[in-house]
Amino acid sequence: MAGQLKEVRNRIKSVQSTQQITKAMKMVSAAKLRRAQDSILQMRPYANKLQDMLSNIVSNSEAGAGMSLAVERPVEKVLLIIVTSDRGLCGAFNTNVIKLAKSTIAEKYATQQKKGNITVWGIGKKGYEYFSKNKFNTTDTYKDIFLNLTFENVQQASQAAMKAFAEKQFDVVEIVYSQFKNAATQVFTVERFLPIPKSEKKAGDTKADFIYDPSKEQLIAELMPKILNTQLYKAVLDSNASEHGARMTAMDKASENANEMLRTLKISYNRARQAAITTELTEIVSGAAALQG
Q: Report residue 205's pLDDT band, with 50, 70 and 90 as the boundaries.
A: low
Residues 6+ apart with CB under 8 A from 73: 168, 171, 195
**pLDDT tens column, 52-69:** 878 777 776 665 445 778
Residue 190 lies in a domain: yes
- In this prediction, residue 68 carries a pLDDT of 79
Residue 268 lies in a domain: no
Residue 83's alpha-carbon distances to 146, 194, 213, 236, 238, in angstroms, are: 10, 16, 37, 7, 10
- In this prediction, residue 61 carries a pLDDT of 63
Q: Give the pLDDT mean for 138-162.
A: 94
Q: Give the pLDDT mean for 35-49.
A: 90
Q: What share of the chain is helix, strand, coil (3-state, %, to 5)?
A: 65, 15, 25
Domain with 219, as residue range(s), is: 20-251
Strand arrangement, sheet containing 78-83: 137-139, 118-123, 78-83, 172-182, 185-194
Contact 165, 194 (CB under 8 A): yes
Residue 227 lies in a domain: yes
Q: Is residue 25 over pLDDT 50?
A: yes
How far apart CA 171 and CA 108 sit, in angstroms, is: 13
Residue 150's alpha-carbon distances to 17, 154, 173, in angstroms, are: 35, 6, 22
Residue 207 lies in a domain: yes
**pLDDT tens column, 237-262:** 999 999 999 999 999 999 999 999 99
Residue 147 lies in a domain: yes
Contact 173, 230 (CB under 8 A): no
- In this prediction, residue 197 carries a pLDDT of 81
**pLDDT tens column, 62-94:** 654 457 788 889 999 999 999 999 998 999 999
How far apart CA 280 and CA 35 sit, in angstroms, is: 59
Domain count, the chain: 1
- Provide the annotated active-site residues: 90
Q: What is the CATH number of the domain that holds 92?
A: 3.40.1380.10
Residue 288 lies in a domain: no
Residue 80 lies in a domain: yes
Q: Which residues pair with 126 in a beta bridge?
A: none
